[in-house]
Amino acid sequence: MIPLPNALMFAAFFLIGPFGLRNRVASLVEFGLIANFLIVALVSKRSSRRQSIALLCALAVLSYENIQSVAAWLHIELSEVPILGVREALNFVSVLFTLNVSLAVIGAAAAVVVGLSLEMRKSRLPLAKLFPEMGFSSASEELSRSVRRMSQMAGIVPPSLSLIDSGSPVAFITRSRDGYELALSVGLIESLSEDELEACIAHELSHVKNNDFAVRSLATAARVALFSHPLSHVIEPAVYRAREFLADKTAVKLVGGKDALISALAKIRESQDYVSSKPTPIATACLFGSPRRNRLLRLFDKHPCLDSRIEALRELDHV
Amino acid sequence: MLKELWEAGSPLSVRQFHEKVSHNRPIAVTTAATILDRLHRKGMLSRRLVKEGGPHYLYSPRLSEDEFKHAVVNNVMGALLRGFNDMTVAYLAERMADKPEDRRIISKYLDRLKGVENR
């Protein structure tokens, strides 16, 4: 994914910054790197893993550059204030910013830590607190057994299982203090066949198997570090979407075929089409997919639309 | 959709409801589940969670067919009479003057109205 020249450029970029050698060359390298990673992401349609890593790398370069620029900008602005006294005071502050390289590094690290901890805190809440509008209850032993069996197949620690009190087809997996929690709605269980339900569970378990929680946290942390850089609002959701496609592929491997997942997604898409009114809080929280929107708006969706997922699954030829 | 539930006479699961509905219009079970869920959230259906034999809901209408029709007429006519009182009454009188059966109904209600006025 990152051939040697790119890897060297990547390393050089991060080394140039701390030594205060940021100049046109550094900017060119940075531009080249971001463009390169974005191109890699665009051309790696068939490998969601590669795509998401390339996007994360682009985010890393962007966030590093962003923090450096802010520190440099503050330094110049503060030292050029003309009012006597204030200038001196600000110059004192600016002395701190002459250490902008170290500040930038600390800033980047702090942003990543804050971003990660916010994300972790949010995702480690119990289900009832995370989604207060939903009702949860314990699942039957039979269903829990099935989840345990599939988790063993995936080689992960089995998540605890909860039932969502909703008739709409919904499923998601989240982190809690005691591990992962898988939530399936009654509507999903009662309307899908056994194979289809298994494929949906496999998709959710694949998020754990593929370490998607860590990847998502990194993407979110990078977005936090980037403050308001417009590109971050496009790249972060793109990372999420790539991981969804990857979870589909992993699920296909887990259940040994793509038909059940395609059929489940097609059924869920049909119900989304039929009930076309404003999405409810539950539908918004549903991790199955975003309703179809225009191409531009889709850039900001953290979930690919179901049509694209079905299409990607149909194109899988090895199963 | 509600008609199927009234005709069944007892609570229906999503699959039973889907079986009945799909004779007339082919829809996925997930769609049937979503429709029933929406109707439940709108307060038109009540449901009970059954965990035996795999978790599923049993849906039943909150109102009987007559109660439902009465509520719909009440809603629609109430709104019309509030907004367009004269026009609504005139329209109804004109429409109902065509058929003898309708005329009988309207005169029955007019007599009742006269009785109220005379009291």
Residue of B nearest to A185 (CA): B55
Question: Are residues A120 and A140 located together in one domain of the fold?
Answer: no
The average confidence (pLDDT) of chain A is: 75
Q: Which of B34, B56, B57 sits opposite A271 (nearest CB)?
A: B34
For A200, list phi and psi in degrees, rounded to 5: -70, -40
| Average pLDDT estimate for A116-145 | 72
Chain B residues in contact with A195 by the CB 8 A cut-off are: none
**How many angstroms separate the CA atoms of A93 and A295, rounded?**
46
Interface of B with A (CB under 8 A): 13-15, 18, 27-38, 40-41, 47, 49, 51, 54-57
Give yes or no for residue B68 having a pLDDT over 70.
yes
Range name among A67-71, A239-243, B77-81 with the lowest pLDDT average: A67-71
pLDDT tier, A282 (very low <50, low <70, confident <90, very high otherwise): very low
Residue of B nearest to A272 (CA): B31
| Residue ranges making up the domain that contains A172 | 136-214+244-315
A262 occurs within a structural domain: yes
A90 occurs within a structural domain: yes
Question: Are residues A22 and A107 located together in one domain of the fold?
Answer: yes
A143 occurs within a structural domain: yes
What confidence score (pLDDT) does residue A249 get?
Answer: 92
**Highest mean pLDDT of the ranges A8-17, A43-52, A155-164, A279-288:** A155-164
- Which of A65, A92, A124 terminates a domain? The answer is A124
pLDDT tier, A108 (very low <50, low <70, confident <90, very high otherwise): low
Q: In the A/B pair of chains, how many CB contacts fall below 8 A?
A: 82
Is A139 within 8 Å of chain B by CB? yes
Whether B54 and A187 lie within 8 Å, measured CB to CB: no
CATH of domain B2-61: 1.10.10.10
Residue bearing the bigger pLDDT, A101 or B64: B64
Burial class (CB in 10 A: 0-12, 13-18, 19+), B52: exposed
Question: Are residues A116 and A74 located together in one domain of the fold?
Answer: yes
Distance from CA of B84 to the nearest CA of A (A): 30
| Average pLDDT estimate for B51-80 | 88
Whether B37 and A166 lie within 8 Å, measured CB to CB: yes
> If we measure between CA atoms, which residue out of A55, A39, A40, A44 comes closest to residue A312?
A44
CATH classification at residue A155: 3.30.2010.10
Distance from CA of A26 to the nearest CA of B (A): 54
Q: Give me the half-sphere count of Cα atoms (radius 13 Å) on the Cβ side of residue A77.
A: 6
Q: Give me the half-sphere count of Cα atoms (radius 13 Å) on the Cβ side of residue A172.
A: 22
Percent of the residues in chain B that have a pLDDT greater than 90, as a whole number:
29
A174 occurs within a structural domain: yes
Give yes or no for residue B57 having a pLDDT over 90.
yes
Question: Are residues A20 and A79 located together in one domain of the fold?
Answer: yes
pLDDT tier, B4 (very low <50, low <70, confident <90, very high otherwise): confident
Model confidence, pTM = 0.70
Question: Are residues A172 and A253 located together in one domain of the fold?
Answer: yes
Give yes or no for residue A42 having a pLDDT over 80.
no
- Which of A55, A90, A124 terminates a domain? The answer is A124
Question: Are residues A47 and A191 located together in one domain of the fold?
Answer: no
What confidence score (pLDDT) does residue A68 get?
Answer: 65
**How many angstroms separate the CA atoms of B94 and A135, rounded?**
52
Give yes or no for residue A92 having a pLDDT over 80.
no
What confidence score (pLDDT) does residue B14 get?
Answer: 94
pLDDT tier, A280 (very low <50, low <70, confident <90, very high otherwise): very low
Q: Which of A165, A167, A280 sits opposite B33 (nearest CB)?
A: A167
Evaluate whether B93 touches B110 at the Cβ level (below 8 Å): no
Question: Are residues A145 and A256 located together in one domain of the fold?
Answer: yes
Number of domains in chain A: 2
Is A136 within 8 Å of chain B by CB? no
What confidence score (pLDDT) does residue A198 get?
Answer: 94
From the candidates A163, A190, A193, A280, which should be mutated to test the interface with B, based on the most B CB atoms within 10 A?
Answer: A190
What amino acid is encoded at A45 in this protein? K
Question: Are residues A140 and A287 located together in one domain of the fold?
Answer: yes
Three-state secondary structure call for residue B116: helix
Show the tokens assigned to A250.
Answer: 């992993």
